[in-house]
Amino acid sequence: MAAPWIAKLFGGLLGKADKIIDEVVTSKEEKLTLKNELQDILLKSEAELQKNVTERWKADMASDSWLSKNVRPMVLIFLVTSTVLMVFIDAGSISFEVEEKWTDLLQLTLITVIGAYFGGRSVEKVKNTNKK
């Protein structure tokens, strides 16, 4: 459930590191070992990042605050509603133009929020089912 920017960042780092390893290390065995270790480090850091997100969500749900428990669904509702409104306004007769940078930002935010919310909820449900 990695966010697209995380995969892009790690993929870019891994690609650059591969080039450096290829230039510096001469034996194929050493290259393969270093590349595998680097891949392992990146996977572990991504897993730690996801673990931290899960812990924050657990803390939100354990809180007594109504807002902390409902902020994710509210953001999801706001983003989906905003997107639908922009589509209808754009398709309608109102002369309204949204710059491409804002539609790109909205698209990235929607993908991230929907993926994290529904992906996170699916993981939570699977964990709860396995506990029973």
* Angle between helix 4-24 and 100-131 (nearest 10): 90
Distance CA 107, CA 116 (A): 14
State which of 29-38, 57-66, 106-115 shows the largest mean pLDDT: 106-115
Distance CA 117, CA 78 (A): 13
Residues contacting 42, CB < 8 A, separation 6+ = 10, 13, 14
pLDDT of residue 2: 46
Q: At 94, give phi and psi (nearest 5°).
A: -75, 135
Residues 39-91: tens digit of each pLDDT? 888 778 777 777 777 777 777 778 788 887 788 888 889 988 988 888 778 77
User: How many helices (H) does the chain have, and how many strands (E)?
Assistant: 4, 0
Q: Where are the domains of the chain?
A: 1-62, 65-132
pLDDT of residue 64: 82
Mean predicted lDDT score pLDDT of the chain: 75
Cα diameter, the chain: 66
By CB atoms closer than 10 A (0-12, 13-18, 19+), residue 120 is: middle
pLDDT of residue 53: 74
Higher pLDDT, 71 or 14: 71
